[in-house]
Structure 1
Amino acid sequence: MFQKTKVTIFSFSIFVFMLIFNMNLAFADETNSSKSTEGIKATVLDTLTIDNAELEQSHGIKNQKVQILITSGSHKGEKLIIDNTIDTSMSENFSLSKGDNILISIEEKNGKITKAYMYQFDRGKYLLYLTLGFVILMILIGGIKGIKSVFTLALTIIIILKVLPTLLLKGYDPVTTSVLICIGIIVFTLLIVSGINRKTVSAIIGTSCGVAMAGLIALLMGNLTKLTGYGTEESQMLMYIPQNINFNYKGLLFAAILMGALGAIMDVSMSIASSMNEIDDSNPNISTASLMKAGMSVGKDIMGTMSNTLILAYIGASLQFVILLMAYNISFIEIINQNVIATEIVRALSGSIGLISSIPITIFVSGILRNRKARRRLEI
């Protein structure tokens, strides 16, 4: 019976995955109905750089005559010579060399290319290698659970990078949408990886309560600190997207905080529930109080490192901005009151509070479920 239940859950999960994948293709067809002339792949065949005298006269602007071979799209196989302008004063170096893989943008007239220019390196191949290495390592070390983890990770990525943004672009409320998506990710991930058991139920309840706590703190502090939600350049650019959607920016901030905290809280809850389950299996005669004490000991060890992880991740995202403020001798009080910095502080501490809250909740639920199992054993 239990084995059939696991098979049913796994089969249903595959169905959901395929459904979302098909939605992804449908959305892609919808958004790419017009012919795009960007993101076309090309390889550099040869380069010709202007001389240094001309470089000095151009005030650090260098121009390369680059011969390229188009390797994708309707013009695949065509060779072009394009100009690649480089500002040598900028830190990002787009200087090209023979053999470089690049992405180009083209302008067409009557099916012929009238203009083309390079706008980014093609890094996809190397990112794919990195991803494959990650997947192979997970499977080699994790076995069946590694395969399940890869599956749930792929599902989560599709949901976060495709389904959630699509729903928000269609005008759905970010608070409600993010809460429902978080619940779905929590339940599917933990059920698929660990199946239906006390450990999974404890982790689901602990994670859900922790994420809810993080969200509530974020909403409360966001209102008290008057955070607008559009302190970043990307959020400001959302005001000018062609869909003309009037976003709830505070809701988007709430959704970002939930998503950022979800993984760490899920990790903590499952680690504690799994540890308590292993202790119980190894020593069935241990008292519930002693088991919960052991769980709290594990939780305390995890709490310090995971809180650091969250805070370092969030603050690290604003490191360049902090350095910029420090370079101009702006006081600490002024720095923490900057909208961007205050937002990151609220993100980090809200997520950490949710993480800490999940620890006693997971331990308490694990203890209750363990008592019920013990009572059933005695009744039998």
Structure 2
Amino acid sequence: MTVQVLLAAILFLLMVLIGGKKGARSFFTLFLNFGVLLITVIVMTVPSVNPIILTLIACAAISSINLFYINGVNSKTKTAFFSSMITIVILLFFIVIVTDKAMIQGFGEEEEEAISAFSLYIGVDFVKVGAAVIIMSAIGSITDIAISIASPMRELFHHHPSISRKELFTFGLSIGRDVLGTDTNTLFFAFFGSYLALLIWFKDLNYSIGEIVNSKVFSAEIINILCAGIGVALIIPITAWSTAYFLVKTGDRGI
């Protein structure tokens, strides 16, 4: 038994013991999401494919798996999915504009030696690919916050069906404020954790603070973090408003 299989078995056992059937479904979603990501990467290398459209389709598939497969099809998962897709569309077009204006596409001088043996004429728009990378990195946090807000809002409405839409919206915002800081920091450490070796490399190259800050690789990483953080902030009011609107309008009879 390899180390990977052993760790996977331990993770599966813990998720089943703690989460029961929902924990088991959550474990299998890891493989489903990996399959979606793998297919997305393979298809994205086809020159005729638009990475933006492909990313939207992939995000819709991942959101459906994370929300509907794990939690079932109900009012809270429907509003969470609806809110996630609106946020992704807004964030995606915003990122395309930012990455184009910041001119972070392509490779930095630190990467020249590693890619010198490869052809760069692969017919792929790296601006759109960069936008796709940011979105795919943030989709997990976006759907997580969406369901974290929609679920307690639905529970509150179930126990207090006479609550007003404004009060329900305010309640959702209050929940969002509690998770905003932790999720933003989670994204920050996730991004920088993966680039820790790069920071050590900068140190070994005796880069000054100014050279590091102005490096294309470092700038691209900062933009990734900030754009993902914007997505995390956007999902809170969007989910709170859409959930409050649909719950009050339908009386939670199914959306």
TM-score normalised by structure 1 residue count? 0.60
Map residues 96-245 of structure 1 onto 2, 5 A cutoff. Answer: 125-161=2-38, 163-171=39-47, 172-231=49-108, 233=111, 237=115, 240=118, 245=122
Structure 1: gaps (5+ residues)? 1-123
SS at match of 1:165: helix
More deviation, 274-283/195-204 = 274-283
Compute the RMSD of aligned alpha carbons.
2.7
More deviation, 187-196/348-357 = 187-196
Query: Counterpart in 2 of 1:51?
Result: none
Q: Kindly indicate whether residue 201 of structure 2 is the aligned counterpart of residue 332 of structure 1.
A: no
Shift of 1:221: 1.5
Instruction: Give the structure with higher Rg (CA).
Output: 1
Code of the residue aligned with 1:304 in structure 2: it is G
Structure 1 residues 108-135: Cα deviation after superposition (integer angstroms, max 9, x where no partner): xxxxxxxxxxxxxxxx810111112112
Structure 1 residues 40-93: Cα deviation after superposition (integer angstroms, max 9, x where no partner): xxxxxxxxxxxxxxxxxxxxxxxxxxxxxxxxxxxxxxxxxxxxxxxxxxxxxx
Q: Kindly indicate whether residue 188 of structure 2 is the aligned counterpart of residue 302 of structure 1.
A: no
Greater RCO, 1 or 2 (C-alpha within 8 Å, sep 6+): 2
Q: Kindly indicate whether residue 170 of structure 2 is the aligned counterpart of residue 293 of structure 1.
A: yes
Question: 1: distance between equivalents of 2:10 and 2:252?
Answer: 47
SS at match of 1:240: coil
Q: Decide whether aligned partners of structure 1 residues 320 and 375 sit closer, same or farther in structure 2, where only a CA change above 3 A counts.
A: closer
Question: 2: distance between equivalents of 1:375 and 1:159?
Answer: 32
Contact in 1 for aligned 2:138/2:228 (Cα 8 Å): yes
Name the one with the larger helix percent.
2
Shift of 1:326: 4.5
Code of the residue aligned with 2:196 in structure 1: it is L
Pick aligned residue for 1:349 from 226, 239, 242: 226
Structure 2: gaps (5+ residues)? none
Structure 1 residues 227-263: Cα deviation after superposition (integer angstroms, max 9, x where no partner): 11434749x649827x973222222212211110100
Shift of 1:350: 0.5
Query: Counterpart in 2 of 1:254?
Result: 131
Query: Counterpart in 2 of 1:108?
Result: none
Query: Counterpart in 2 of 1:92?
Result: none
Question: 2: distance between equivalents of 1:168 and 1:367?
Answer: 37
Map residues 270-285 of structure 1 onto 2, 5 A cutoff. Answer: 270-285=147-162
Question: 2: distance between equivalents of 1:139 and 1:233?
Answer: 43
Query: Counterpart in 2 of 1:368?
Result: 245
Code of the residue aligned with 1:164 in structure 2: it is T
SS at match of 1:285: coil
Code of the residue aligned with 1:361 in structure 2: it is I
SS at match of 2:221: helix
Code of the residue aligned with 1:298 in structure 2: it is I
Shift of 1:294: 1.6
Shift of 1:272: 0.5
Shift of 1:212: 2.3
Q: Percent identity at matched positions?
A: 30
Number of residue pairs matched by the alignment = 252
More deviation, 365-374/223-232 = 223-232
Question: 2: distance between equivalents of 1:212 and 1:258?
Answer: 10
Pick aligned residue for 1:264 from 141, 149, 159: 141
Contact in 2 for aligned 1:315/1:345 (Cα 8 Å): no
Name the one with the larger strand percent.
1
